[in-house]
Amino acid sequence: MLQLTLKAAISGVLIALASTTAKRYPAFGALIASLPLVSVMGMIWLWWARPDPQNMAAHMQATFWYVLPSLPMFLVMPFMLRAGIPFWPTLLSGCALTIVLYAGVAAIGPR
C-alpha cells in the first residue's frame, strides 16, 4: 500500500507542477507535460515490480507504438480551439480521434 501511495504522490506532483507552471509560462508547462515522465516512471515502477529485461523491452516497444497515435490530437485540438470550438467538445474530439487511432494501431501494428 505504501508503494502505491508513493507512486500516486510522485505522479500527482508532476502533473501539478506542469499545470501550475503552464498558467504563467505555457510553453514551459508544455515542455514539462511533454516529457515522457509518465513512461519513465512506469518503466521504473514496472522494473521494481518485475525486473525482467524481455518484459521491459516489450513494454518499451509497445509504448513507442502507442505514442504515435496520440500525436495528431496535439495538432487537431489547437486548430479547433482557434476556430472557436469550445474547450470541452475540442477535448472530447481529440480524445475520440486518439481512441480511433489507437484502435487502428492495435489492429494493424506490430505485436
Q: How far apart are CA 78 and CA 67, in angstroms?
A: 19
Is residue 69 within 8 A of residue 40, CB to CB? The reply is no
pLDDT of residue 54: 96
pLDDT in tens, 54-91: 999 999 998 888 889 999 999 999 999 999 999 999 99
76: number of Cβ within 10 Å: 14
Nearest alpha-carbon partner for 69 in 88, 43, 95: 95
pTM assigned to the model: 0.71
Per the rule left: phi > 0, alpha: psi between -120 and 50, beta: everything else, 84 is left
Q: Is the pLDDT of residue 97 over 90?
A: yes
Q: Is the pLDDT of residue 111 over 70?
A: no
Mean pLDDT of all residues belonging to the chain: 90
Is residue 63 within 8 A of residue 39, CB to CB? The reply is yes
Structure confidence at residue 98 as a pLDDT band (50, 70, 90): very high
Q: How far apart are CA 91 and CA 78, in angstroms?
A: 10
